Amino acid sequence: MNERLKTLLEESVNSIKEAASLEEAEALRVKILGKKGQLTEMLKSMKDLKPEERKEFGQAANEAKAQIEKSLADTVAMLKDAQKKARFLAETIDVTEPGRTAAPGFKHLVSLTIDETIDFFTAMGYTIAEGPEIDTVHNNFDALNAGPNHPSRDMTDTFYINDNVLLRTQTSDVQARIIASQQPPIRLISPGRVFRCDTPDATHSPMFHQIEGLVVDEDITMADLKGVLDKYAKFLFGSSLATKLRPHHFPFTEPSAEMDVECFKCGGKGCNVCKGSGWIEILGCGMVHPNVLREGGIDTEKYTGFAFGIGVERIAMLRYGIDDMRLLYENDIRFISQFK
């Protein structure tokens, strides 16, 4: 074989073997076999040879070309195989690796308190009633025996939308709606949001939650009220704690009372939670005022009832030892997740 051809063949095969990537292999193909490639140029120069040399050179050149092409094909096949193996390795999935778990959510203390209260009362046969947060002055005050001069109607305490419509200040408005539309027996609770013109501080918020309770039937007495609410207080704070009713005033109940539970922290001796008294106020209650029943067309000779109102935030704060109501609304996950 011609010396130049031999050298070219050797060099080409060596450099093709060393190609580290498909791009490099392709560049070599162009450099050797391309239109202006080294071997192509050599073949072109054949015309300058003598006719007897030409045949031999032509055969040798074709042989060299075949070897170079084979060497290129081998290298490309090897590089493609390596590339595939590398990809498989990179895409390997470890099926034994534990899955990524989403952090499960949990109930906010306000929702939790409402839900636990719902569970308690529905287990006793109460149904759940809902009312709108925007209600009439009539349902929020007049129908509940809070006459035109009642102090809670004051512009400074209530968010009025106009003369007849307001953001309800209490869930007791649901009592008015139910009494006006249903006949006894009535046995319900109604959780919801209420609104008052208060500047937020440790114990006040312009928006908070209440749970209203209403029972109207034949022969309902104060003993029924006391029995139910005593059970509820024990459910919340502990079965060994005593409760007591303390006289109070609400326009829609007569008699009215507030229920106190023995301090769950000190057991009644007096501490910072109960401010030394040994008792903690937990809710307002009373026998439904006949005026309220009459307003809804219920026969007050036949039926009597009791009602109660629970402050949800207050209960949650007491049970979980929270000293500032604003913490419940700031939605700081570090605070909230302490009660998981």
**Binds ligand DAH by CB under 6 A, chosen from 170, 190, 243, 304:** 170
Per-residue binder mask for ligand DAH (CB under 6 A), 183-212, x = binder:
-----------------------------x
Q: At its nearest, how many Å lie between ligand DAH and the CB of residue 261? A: 16
Burial class of 126 by CB neighbour count within 10 A (0 to 12, 13 to 18, 19+): buried
Q: At its nearest, how many Å lie between ligand DAH and the CB of residue 128? A: 15
CB closest to ligand DAH, residue no: 309
Q: At its nearest, how many Å lie between ligand DAH and the CB of residue 269? A: 28
Residue 8 CB coordination number (10 Å)? 19
Stretch in the footprint of ligand DAH (CB under 6 A) among 19-27, 83-91, 111-119, 282-290 = 282-290
Nearer Cβ to ligand DAH, position 75 or 210?
210
**What is the distance between the alpha carbons of residues 21 and 299, in angstroms, rounded to a whole number?**
96
Residue 15, both tokens: 């450099």
Sheet holding 207-217, edge to edge: 127-128, 186-195, 207-217, 304-311, 279-288, 253-262, 243-250
**What is the distance between the alpha carbons of residues 270 and 298, in angstroms, rounded to a whole number?**
44
- Measured on CA atoms in the order 30, 34, 35, 41, is the torsion positive or negative? positive
Q: According to the binding rule CB under 6 A, does residue 173 interact with ligand DAH?
A: no
Q: How far apart are the two ends of the chain, measured CA to CA in Å?
A: 87
Q: At its nearest, how many Å lie between ligand DAH and the CB of residue 212? A: 5
Residues 115-134 close enough to bind ligand DAH by CB under 6 A: none
**Count of residues engaged in binding ligand DAH, rule: CB under 6 A:** 11
Angstrom distances, CA of residue 294 to CA of 74, 138, 148, 254: 101, 14, 18, 14
Per-residue binder mask for ligand DAH (CB under 6 A), 246-265, x = binder:
----x--x------------
Q: At its nearest, how many Å lie between ligand DAH and the CB of residue 144? A: 8
Nearer Cβ to ligand DAH, position 28 or 317?
317
**Binds ligand DAH by CB under 6 A, chosen from 113, 172, 190, 205:** 172
**What is the distance between the alpha carbons of residues 297 and 45, in angstroms, rounded to a whole number?**
119
CA 339 to chain centroid, in Å, comes to 15
Q: At its nearest, how many Å lie between ligand DAH and the CB of residue 139? A: 12
Fill in the DSSP letter of residue 160: B
Q: Using an 8 Å Cβ cutoff, are 97 and 39 in contact?
A: no
**Binds ligand DAH by CB under 6 A, chosen from 131, 251, 284, 305:** 284
Nearer Cβ to ligand DAH, position 72 or 285?
285
Residues 287-316 close enough to bind ligand DAH by CB under 6 A: 307-309
Q: Are strands 304-311 and 253-262 parallel, antiparallel or unpaired?
A: unpaired
Stretch in the footprint of ligand DAH (CB under 6 A) among 59-67, 91-99, 280-288, 324-332 = 280-288
Per-residue binder mask for ligand DAH (CB under 6 A), 8-47, x = binder:
----------------------------------------
Residue 70, both tokens: 């084979």
Residue 177, both tokens: 């709606």
Binding site for ligand DAH (CB under 6 A): 170, 172, 212, 250, 253, 284-286, 307-309
